[in-house]
Structure 1
Amino acid sequence: MPASAALSTAPHAPAGATPLLRLRDETFDAHQLAAYNLYLTVGGGRVRMAAIEKARQSFVLLEDHALPPGGLPALAAAHDCLGRAGWHAVRLATTGGAFTLLPAALFRPGDEAAALRLHHALAPAEAAYARPHPALELVNVFAADAALADWLAATHGPAGQLLHHTSGLLAGLAHQRDAGGPRRLYLSLGHHELALVVLGSQLEYCNVFAFATAEDVLYYTVLVMQELGLNPDQDELTVWGELTHDSALFTLLRNYVRHVRFGPRPYDLFYSYRFNEVFDHRYFDLFSLHFI
């Protein structure tokens, strides 16, 4: 499948905008939102959204939009269902490196800003939030746009949950991984941002890096492998996100890491046949919001 096959335009786009991707199964009913969970990731000038039908555990909607002036609230106001209340659940994940993972036993509600202050100064428009990971016995503390959190609460009420995109990534990896498998490095590539995770019998490493070039991605990947005692000639690297089999970045990674493979979609879920237009290794962190 050529790289261009991952892009699709369709009628009924938000006013004044053409989606980067818009895939909907014929069974999706925008008048029965209570039958679906809505998952969103926001960052890098984009919002990606997916809807899963609860009864069938099947994804029936996948869209990728450039954020217009006014951000997500402006996009939602022009969208046929994004800004409407009534979804069974809404999970909105923000991207960026302003997060930290703390042992659950050491975290106290109200300490969010203090925990972030060690490596991130909150901007005037930001606030600190926390999301527990019971399965990993961790709490993800992160910074997000306070206006975005206010929009989520005002639009979707108690159904809306705000979290960091690494929460989705970690939940997906925990679900996907064989508990008895070897230590392994996982890479999730976004728009000028990559997340690297090392997972063995427990989580050993998780960090987000900004990058400008393919060489930056290679540098951070090899650096983490060296620091965590992984061997580029022996240990496997699993990759998800915004790259293709014929990209310069993938070729560069394979020149320095012998065993590189693209990861699959999250297991134990179903996907509309329309999603066949998209490579399986794309949108893993978005789909994995289902496991939170």
Structure 2
Amino acid sequence: MPLLPVPATAILPPSSALPPAPVAQLHDEAFDPSRLGAYHLDILLTEGHCRLTVREAARQKVVVLEDWTLAAASALPALAAGHELLGRAGWAGVRLAVGGGAFTLLPAPLFRPGDEAAYLGLHYTLGATEQALAYALPPGSPAHELVSIFGTEAAVAEWLQATHGPTARLLHHTSALVAGLLHQRGPAAPTRQLYLHLAGPELTLVVLGTQLEFCNVFAISTPEDAVYYTILVMQELGLNPDQDTVTIWGDLTSESAIFTLLRTYVRHLRFGSRPFGLQYSYRLNELAECRHFELFSLAFCD
């Protein structure tokens, strides 16, 4: 199984030290912040952003979506201290996914709890403020025999535990993406397909068939980088850019340079939709369907 780790050079430094600022704050009028126990809080930390949703447990309806600029993941506790939702306890459930390429996938039979740093150390050198954690991929799925080993800022893990307790889950963003893709395609095993997700300077590529065949995060700085990695993975795994469908999600539009260039090399390129099985507030209608797939997909993570 060609599950390739990302070198440490793929981890980009924060682009700015500016204080957090809201990019989007979409709240449905039906959301009742006095009843946090009726909602799930899902958080996604990616390069330069903290994005969150509030999802009503009874109807599985996303009633809040916020997007904040964030200089670094370690700044999350400071953002939460002044935020009306992040720093409050009492949710029905809390899931937090971290971005970046500091991760690898390990066959479950080989995993031994307590050795996370050693496994990750084969591909990535943890910084003085980072720690290694593990998350088992969705059970009963083509990825269920894999464990995700990933690195994150210790301050993030400590804040999550202190604020939201031991039941709050911390995982890598690729685990949320894979969970969402498995949910989206259903129980039947379709033809092998390549899926792309773009979040700022990070391009995540996943190939799913009867099993999870490939999952990796690449650092990109130009549209040419995105095309290079996409075609490289297709060639390495025997996919044909002229015949095989490629589905893409993330921070782009049909007019963006990356999509325009990809379309000249991949004949059957299409945008993905929001995860099925969830409801979405009308407040989210102004957002493109292909955006926030990883964030919404946290709903399918244990």
Superposition TM-score, scaled by structure 2 size: 0.89
- The alignment status of 1:287 with 2:280, answered yes or no, reads no
CA distance in 1, matches of 2:101, 2:124: 9
Tell me how far 1:102 sits from its aligned partner: 1.1
The answer for the alignment partner of 1:57 in structure 2 is 60
The answer for the alignment partner of 2:258 in structure 1 is 249
- The alignment status of 1:275 with 2:284, answered yes or no, reads yes
Q: Which of the residues 225, 229, 239 maps onto 1:216? A: 225
**Structure 2: segments with no counterpart, 5+ residues:** 1-18
CA distance in 1, matches of 2:126, 2:195: 29
- The alignment status of 1:228 with 2:237, answered yes or no, reads yes
Q: Which 4+ stretches in 1 moved above 4 angstroms?
A: none
Tell me how far 1:18 sits from its aligned partner: 4.1
Aligned-partner residue type, residue 105 of structure 1: P
**Structure 1: segments with no counterpart, 5+ residues:** 1-15
The answer for the alignment partner of 1:239 in structure 2 is 248
CA contact (8 A) 1:83 1:155 kept: yes
Q: Which of the residues 267, 272, 283 maps onto 1:258? A: 267
CA distance in 1, matches of 2:178, 2:75: 26
Aligned-partner residue type, residue 254 of structure 2: H
CA contact (8 A) 1:68 1:74 kept: no
CA distance in 1, matches of 2:68, 2:20: 8
CA distance in 1, matches of 2:21, 2:47: 17
Moved more, 140-149 or 17-26: 17-26
CA contact (8 A) 1:68 1:75 kept: no
Aligned-partner residue type, residue 162 of structure 2: A
Going from structure 1 to structure 2, the CA distance change for 1:164 and 1:17 (only over 3 Å counts) comes to closer
Which whole-Å deviations, capped at 9, do the CAs of 1:179-200 have from their partners, x for residues lacking one? 2311000000001001000000
Give 1:42-81 correspondences, 5 Å limit.
42-67=45-70, 71-81=75-85
The answer for the alignment partner of 1:119 in structure 2 is 123
Which whole-Å deviations, capped at 9, do the CAs of 1:108-158 have from their partners, x for residues lacking one? 111211111111011111110000122322110000001110011111112
3-state SS of the aligned residue for 1:81? Answer: coil
Which whole-Å deviations, capped at 9, do the CAs of 1:63-100 have from their partners, x for residues lacking one? 10011687111111111111111111111111011101
Give 1:1-292 correspondences, 5 Å limit.
18-67=21-70, 71-133=75-137, 134-135=139-140, 136=143, 137-178=145-186, 179-292=188-301
3-state SS of the aligned residue for 2:158? Answer: helix
Moved more, 130-139 or 229-238: 130-139
CA distance in 2, matches of 1:171, 1:180: 15
CA contact (8 A) 1:88 1:159 kept: no
CA contact (8 A) 1:192 1:211 kept: yes
3-state SS of the aligned residue for 2:42? Answer: strand
RMSD: 1.3
CA contact (8 A) 1:128 1:144 kept: yes
CA distance in 2, matches of 1:158, 1:147: 15
CA contact (8 A) 1:130 1:142 kept: yes
Moved more, 134-143 or 278-287: 134-143
Among all aligned residue pairs of Structure 1 and Structure 2, give the percentage whose two residues are the same amino acid.
60
CA contact (8 A) 2:204 2:216 kept: yes
Tell me how far 1:255 sits from its aligned partner: 0.2
CA distance in 1, matches of 2:21, 2:77: 17
Moved more, 25-34 or 251-260: 25-34
Tell me how far 1:43 sits from its aligned partner: 2.4
Aligned-partner residue type, residue 176 of structure 1: Q
CA contact (8 A) 2:46 2:199 kept: no
3-state SS of the aligned residue for 2:165? Answer: helix
CA distance in 1, matches of 2:275, 2:27: 19
CA contact (8 A) 1:87 1:159 kept: no
Aligned-partner residue type, residue 164 of structure 2: H
CA distance in 2, matches of 1:22, 1:112: 36
